[in-house]
């Protein structure tokens, strides 16, 4: 087997929970044309005159509430996941030269640096695995853009492949179902299971983004794996930004509505997030939790992301295996 490099890619995180670091991260993230498809002249004014000055301090305060071990949860759990998968590669392919890296679309460690390191280590084949189960132009396509940008500046391009999505992969659905079942065995089963996915503007879907369809298929597959009927689970979308219409129903409104109509115990899982981050810990287990209790709910039970759990490591290993064994992989 030729020396291979595998890059696991997540969205990114500030280097610290300071306002300056958060502002730097948000500027890079929200400047990506894949992320925000508003006309540039208008968006630059909104970004620099409204969002960065006013949102950065608030987001920094939120990060301070979830910061752990001098590092963000997203980076902490992402790195532990990659380290765990690397150990499985060493165990199953003891004679192979397989190098793994964690990279971020925004912030550090960045994709360009990861590619440079792997090529310097002698890797002749590269595989990129975005940690986004459901494909969206706002996330996965943005990763693809960055990879192509790096190679556009190179004369000698290695063989490479990437994974577009894994929203319905059997091991992914099984891992999610296992996490829910473990939660139920330890805490009892709530009246309803809410599956909260990250939202995107509705217009993106109308223009051809398959994200909503992927989310719905993930939710249906998970419900099927758990044996739930349609009255026992709900799908919603979180993390709306701006005044445009995003995918609905919105998570916060859904949580409030459920509490107001008599739901007392609610189990909540966020299948679109591979590891814990601000959107799961602060927005769901913090803000949405508070809304539910304030409106009459009694128990809001957040089910953690897959993080670095063994089932998640096994899933990543399964997703990489065709590349490592050169089976049914479309190289570029």
Asked if the domains 4-165+310-325 and 170-302 are classified in one and the same CATH topology, the answer is yes
Any known ligand binding at 326? no
pLDDT of residue 328: 60
CA distance 79 to 9: 10
CA distance 32 to 228: 39
Segment 113-160, tens digit of pLDDT? 999 999 999 999 999 999 999 999 999 999 999 999 999 999 999 999
Provide the percentage of residues in the chain whose pLDDT is more than 70: 98
The strand pairing partners of 160, in sequence order, are: 126
CA distances in angstroms from 237 to 12, 30, 173, 306, 310, listed in the order given: 20, 19, 19, 19, 27
Any known ligand binding at 198? yes
In this structure, what token pair is assigned to residue 209?
């983004």
Segment 7-57, tens digit of pLDDT? 999 999 999 999 999 999 999 999 999 999 999 999 999 999 999 999 999
> Average pLDDT of the chain?
96
Provide the percentage of residues in the chain whose pLDDT is more than 90: 95
Residue where the block lists tokens 């071990």: 69
Residue where the block lists tokens 């805490």: 187
Segment 155-191, tens digit of pLDDT? 999 999 999 999 999 999 999 999 999 999 999 999 9
CA distance 276 to 270: 9
The CATH T-level fold of domain 170-302 is Rossmann fold (3.40.50)
CB 200 within 8 A of CB 239: no
Per-domain residue ranges of the chain: 4-165+310-325, 170-302
**Opening angle at CA 153, ends 152 and 159, nearest 5:** 55
The CATH code of the domain at 4-165+310-325 is 3.40.50.1400
Q: Computed from CA positions of residues 201, 135, 286, 104, in that sequence, does the dihedral angle turn out positive or negative?
A: negative
pLDDT of residue 330: 59
68 phi/psi in degrees, rounded to 5: -140, 140
pTM for this entry? 0.95
């Amino acid at each position: 087997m030729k020396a291979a490099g595998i890059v696991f890619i997540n969205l990114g995180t500030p280097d610290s929970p300071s306002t300056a670091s958060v502002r730097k991260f948000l500027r890079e993230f929200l400047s990506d044309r894949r992320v925000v498809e508003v006309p540039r002249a208008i968006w630059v004014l909104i970004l620099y005159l409204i969002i960065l000055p006013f949102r950065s301090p608030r987001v920094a305060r939120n990060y301070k509430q979830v910061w752990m071990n001098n590092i963000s949860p997203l980076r902490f759990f992402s790195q532990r996941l990659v380290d765990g998968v690397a150990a499985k590669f060493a165990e199953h392919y003891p004679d192979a030269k397989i190098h793994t890296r964690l990279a971020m679309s925004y912030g550090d460690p960045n994709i360009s640096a990861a590619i440079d390191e792997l090529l310097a280590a002698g890797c002749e084949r590269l595989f990129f695995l975005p940690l986004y189960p459901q494909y969206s132009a706002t996330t996965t396509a943005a990763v693809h853009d960055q990879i192509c940008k790096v190679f556009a500046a190179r004369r000698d391009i290695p063989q490479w492949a990437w994974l577009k999505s894994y929203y319905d992969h059997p091991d992914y659905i099984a891992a999610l179902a296992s996490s829910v079942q473990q939660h139920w065995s330890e805490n009892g089963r709530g009246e309803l299971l809410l599956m909260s996915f990250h939202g995107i503007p509705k217009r993106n879907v109308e223009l051809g983004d398959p994200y909503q369809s992927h989310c719905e298929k993930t939710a249906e597959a998970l419900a099927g794996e758990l044996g739930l009927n349609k009255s026992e689970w709900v799908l919603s979308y979180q993390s709306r930004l701006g005044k445009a219409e995003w995918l609905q129903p919105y998570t916060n409104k859904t949580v409030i509505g459920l509490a107001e109509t008599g739901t007392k115990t609610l189990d909540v899982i966020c299948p679109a997030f591979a590891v814990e981050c601000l959107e799961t810990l602060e927005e769901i287990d913090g803000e949405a939790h508070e809304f539910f209790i304030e409106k009459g709910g009694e128990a809001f039970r957040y089910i953690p992301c897959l993080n670095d759990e063994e089932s998640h490591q096994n899933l990543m290993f399964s997703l990489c295996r065709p590349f490592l064994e050169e089976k049914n992989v479309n190289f570029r």
